[in-house]
């Protein structure tokens, strides 16, 4: 269980970095927030993915203490 939560947390942090570093029209089409012709970043999507990643990593750390 701990490994799954850790992997999901790391994946969400990578997704958050993509949202902050890549314009919306360059995101993969399966990402929410992809919009053709839009040259700005999706900050709200990035903050949400980053926040969830941090929460999952904290949960993983807590599970490892047991």
Give me the DSSP letters along 7-50.
Answer: HHHHHHHHHHHHHHHS-GGGS-TTSTT--TT--S--HHHHHHHH
- pLDDT per position as a tens digit, 5-56: 999 999 999 999 999 999 988 888 888 888 888 888 889 999 999 999 999 9
pTM: 0.87
State the total domains in the chain: 1
Q: Look up the domain containing 27 and give its range.
A: 2-64
CA proximity to 9, closest of 47, 58, 45, 46: 58
- Report the sign of the C-alpha dihedral through residues 19, 22, 24, 26, in that order: negative
């Amino acid at each position: 269980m701990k490994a799954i939560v850790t992997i999901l947390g790391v994946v969400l942090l990578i997704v958050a970095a993509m949202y902050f570093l890549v314009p919306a029209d360059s995101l993969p089409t399966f990402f929410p927030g992809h919009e053709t012709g839009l040259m700005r970043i999706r900050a709200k999507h990035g903050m949400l993915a980053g926040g969830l990643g941090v929460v999952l990593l904290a949960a993983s750390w807590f599970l490892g203490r047991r």
